[in-house]
A and B are shown apart, each in its own frame.
Chain A
Amino acid sequence: MIISEKLCNDITVISIKGTIDAKTAPELKKFDSASAADSPVVIDLSDVDFLDSSGLGALVGIARIKRDHGGNVTLACMNNKVRKVFEITQVYKLFDIYDDVEAATLNAVKK
């Protein structure tokens, strides 16, 4: 799994490439974003080809920490496989999910 970070419309976009499972989820949890704790973040999942409950838990954990500090996490560009995992567990209710990174960053700016 490769995690990279960039800025788009002044919003931090964390791009994840590869698989998020029990092996790689701890790396995601430990990832130290350059963004401030209370600032919004968009996680780009367009290059994530597989995500299981460990990956889901990692994303939920990141969201919880962000929201505890007044920030927010928006998800963008899920493929069908990843979307189904969110749907089965109903975790989609915890996130704003966009199909476009730029639209997600614009929304984060507005909020």
Chain B
Amino acid sequence: MTTMMTLPADIRYVRLASLAALKIAEIFTECINSKTGNEDFCHAFELAVSEAFTNSVLHAEPCEIEKTITISYCSNSHNLTTTVSDTNPPFAIVTPSLNISSYPEQGYGLFMIHQLMDTVSYTREDGFNRISMTKQYHMKEGNNP
């Protein structure tokens, strides 16, 4: 399954992007496990896409041409991958660390993406920044009899 949506690079659309991620994750989990969805799994995508979309919007260079952000989803039987692409200038993605004792107001976004998702990768291809985030879906195991 692959699906894609393109949105204007405007902060007003961040909630649309995150809600779409939530719904797609819910559909995915229901396909995998018809009994119940998985709240944690779906919330992880809702948050991760919100963070990645926000990053793309905030780091866009102001220009006259309306920019867009593309969010695509790809899945197999074990995991769901979302890729957020934009046409911003390239940036160096570093493994973030947080020092909360200094009451930071920023810098949580990338940190959270790394905590929420199993794999995070960044590529720069054909003028696009692409952040791919993959999370494996774990079927809940019951206790041994």
Contact = CB atoms under 8 A, between A and B. Distances in A.
Interface of A: 19, 21-23, 50, 52-54, 56-58, 60-61, 63-64, 80-81, 84-85, 88-91, 93-94
A57 B103 CA distance: 9
Contacts of B47: 52, 85
A85 B40 CA distance: 11
Contacts of B14: 21-23
Dominant SS at the B interface? helix
Given A57-B105, A63-B103, A94-B100, A21 B112 contact: no
14 contacts: A21-B14, A22-B57, A23-B11, A53-B112, A54-B109, A56-B108, A57-B104, A57-B106, A61-B103, A61-B105, A63-B103, A88-B116, A90-B98, A90-B100
Interface string B55-67: 0011000000000
B100 A53 contact: no
Interface of B: 11-12, 14-15, 18, 39-40, 43, 46-47, 50-51, 54, 57-58, 98, 100, 103-106, 108-109, 111-112, 115-116
A64 B104 CA distance: 9
Contacts of B46: 50
The 4 closest A-B pairs by CB, nearest first: A53-B108, A57-B105, A22-B54, A64-B103
Given A21-B54, A85-B47, A89-B115, 6 more contacts: A23-B15, A61-B105, A64-B105, A88-B112, A91-B108, A94-B103
B108 A57 contact: yes
Contacts of A84: 40, 43
